[in-house]
């Protein structure tokens, strides 16, 4: 590993070739020093990059002319890039991302990674992120690292040695952070309904956002909870410190909270540092159906943009804008459905402004088909669609829609069900 004293000493042209495909750590694992240098200095032509969650908003519209961008997600800082036509979306399940970043046509040539300092034996932790980054590192021709003294040294199923890293620079900025957000009154009511579905001894999978934060805050009176999730937020650390989330009743990885990445604040990173009760794994493990099905009482808790009266879910497009992802929701919902005592949960507010989010017909793509029946939760209650017919589903969903929209949905239900039946006979 060649160590530079400053990012100003790094010339990407010494390591990158024209047409290279790049991957770098997403969310809190974004190597901001390296990415900002890439976006401001001389680079070879025709570079492309696969990017994930954009917490720090490092990538902006004015940068897209330098690097052609692809992502699995259009939310947060990626939304403006996609709206401007500068971000191509790969609508893939999260469980397939390891194959995506190492495939011959889409795999990483160069990986940029943010790491803690190596240990005395030269072993290097991947810090806050394993997810699909571990697979990209295994495929890459060149690995460039920024070293952050405050990045956590985490346990996991992958790592590096100093011999695997071509060049390293000191981090110039702290890690990007995603702080818990204060939930609204509506989100608090949704969270209360979701929390009612979580029994002692359950293993949780949680999505991203303030709804998730609100649910976790409602679970402080539970006991023996576990975690197997794509991401670990601050709320998980809070439950672990309270003795609520112990993992002692998990079917596998007993006593350990398993996630793909840390998605929170420095407080979470410090808690995870050399903490043997937290283990970060690649997406090929965290999202694997065979693994998920072995976890008894797996409660998969995810959000959506809208749900139609037959139980189809759109988690990608709102009002014509790509603002979400296929992501890991289907992976986890199917895993929870296969788990003994598991519960697949989709939560969403009943309205977005004047519009109902329980709809007769989706305005965007079907991210989750109606054959993957879930428990749908709004602030007005929950509708367990498992085992229900199309007409029964419509009635259950209308009952948890906003009261002002229920009559219109009832009138539209017959037509929606007839269309669904016709599609089944084609």
d(CA 207, CA 75): 13
Residue 425 reports pLDDT greater than 70? no
The fold for domain 2-170 equals Glutaconate Coenzyme A-transferase (3.40.1080)
pLDDT-derived band of residue 424, with 50, 70 and 90 as boundaries?
A: low
Q: What is the pLDDT of residue 302?
A: 97
Name which of 41-45, 194-198, 231-235 the model is least confident about. 41-45
Q: Is the pLDDT of residue 35 over 90?
A: yes
Q: How many CB atoms lie within 10 A of CB 70?
A: 16
Nearest one of 204, 197, 142, 175 to 1, comparing CA atoms: 142
Of all residues in the chain, what percent carry a pLDDT higher than 90? 88
Mean pLDDT over 231-252 rounds to 97
Average pLDDT over all residues of the chain: 95
Indicate if the pLDDT at residue 417 is higher than 80. Answer: no
Taking phi over 0 as left and psi of -120 to 50 as alpha, with beta for the rest, 253 belongs to left
State pLDDT tens for residues 164-186. Answer: 999 999 999 999 999 988 999 99
On the question of pLDDT at 421 being above 70, the answer is yes
CA 300/CA 327 separation, integer angstroms: 13
Whether 220 shows a pLDDT value over 70: the answer reads yes
Half-sphere exposure of 407 toward its Cβ, with a 13 Å CA cutoff? Answer: 1
Q: In what order do the strands lie in the sheet with 306-308?
A: 313-314, 306-308, 358-359
Rounded to two decimals, the pTM is 0.94
Residue ranges of the alpha helices (H) in 369-402?
390-399
The confidence band for 416, taking pLDDT boundaries of 50, 70 and 90, is confident
Average pLDDT over residues 293-306: 97
User: Could you give the count of Cα atoms lying within 13 Å of 289 in the half-sphere of its Cβ?
Assistant: 8
Mean pLDDT of 414-424: 75
The whole-number average pLDDT for the span 130-137 is 96
What are 110-127's pLDDT values in tens digits? 999 999 999 999 999 999
Give the pair of three-digit tokens for residue 261: 């990445």
What are the residue ranges of helices labelled H in 101-184? 133-139
Return d(Cα 48, Cα 17) in angstroms, integer. Answer: 11
CATH class, range 185-425: alpha beta
Residue 419's pLDDT is 79
pLDDT tens string 377-407: 999 999 999 999 999 999 999 999 999 999 9
Longest dimension (CA), the chain: 69
**Domain residues of the chain, as ranges?**
2-170, 185-425
What pLDDT is stored for residue 406 in this prediction?
97
* pLDDT reading at 44 higher than 70: yes
Instruction: Say yes or no to pLDDT of 320 above 90.
Output: no
Closest CA to 135 of 108, 175, 166, 104: 108
């Amino acid at each position: 590993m060649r160590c530079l004293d400053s990012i100003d000493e790094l010339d990407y042209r010494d390591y990158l070739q024209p047409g290279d495909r790049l991957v770098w750590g997403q969310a809190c694992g974004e190597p901001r020093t390296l990415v900002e240098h890439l976006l401001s200095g001389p680079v070879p032509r025709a570079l492309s990059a696969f990017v994930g969650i954009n917490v720090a908003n490092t990538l902006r519209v004015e940068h897209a002319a330098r690097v052609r961008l692809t992502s699995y997600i259009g939310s947060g800082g990626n939304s403006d890039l996609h709206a401007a036509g500068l971000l191509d979306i790969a609508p893939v399940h999260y469980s397939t991302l390891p194959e995506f970043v190492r495939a011959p046509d889409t795999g990483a040539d160069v990986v940029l990674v943010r790491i803690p300092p190596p240990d005395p034996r030269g072993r290097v932790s991947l810090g806050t992120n394993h997810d699909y980054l571990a697979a990209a590192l295994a495929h890459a021709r060149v690995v460039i690292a920024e070293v952050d003294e405050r990045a956590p040294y985490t346990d996991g199923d992958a790592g590096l040695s100093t011999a695997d890293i071509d060049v390293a620079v000191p981090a110039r900025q702290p890690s990007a952070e995603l702080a818990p957000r204060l939930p609204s009154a509506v989100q608090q009511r949704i969270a209360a309904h979701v929390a009612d579905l979580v029994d002692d001894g359950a293993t949780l999978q949680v999505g991203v956002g303030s709804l998730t934060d609100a649910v976790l805050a409602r679970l402080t009176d539970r006991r023996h909870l576990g975690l197997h999730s794509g991401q670990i937020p601050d709320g998980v650390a809070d439950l672990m410190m309270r003795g609520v989330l112990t993992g002692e009743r998990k079917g596998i990885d007993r006593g350990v909270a398993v996630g793909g990445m840390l998605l929170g604040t420095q407080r979470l990173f410090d808690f995870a540092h050399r903490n043997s009760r937290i283990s970060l794994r690649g997406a090929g493990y965290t999202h694997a159906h065979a693994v998920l099905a072995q976890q008894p009482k797996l409660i998969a808790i995810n959000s959506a943009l809208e749900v139609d009266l037959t139980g189809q879910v759109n988690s990608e497009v709102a009002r014509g804008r790509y603002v979400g992802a296929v992501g890991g929701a289907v992976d986890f919902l199917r895993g929870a459905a296969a788990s003994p005592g598991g519960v697949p949960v989709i939560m969403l507010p009943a309205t977005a402004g004047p519009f109902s989010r329980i709809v007769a017909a989706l305005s965007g793509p079907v991210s989750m088909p109606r054959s993957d029946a879930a428990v749908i939760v709004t602030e007005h209650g929950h509708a367990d669609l498992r085992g229900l017919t199309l007409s029964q589903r419509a009635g259950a969903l209308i009952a948890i829609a906003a009261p002002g929209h229920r009559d219109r949905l009832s009138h539209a239900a017959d037509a929606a069900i007839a269309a669904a039946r016709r599609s089944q006979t084609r």
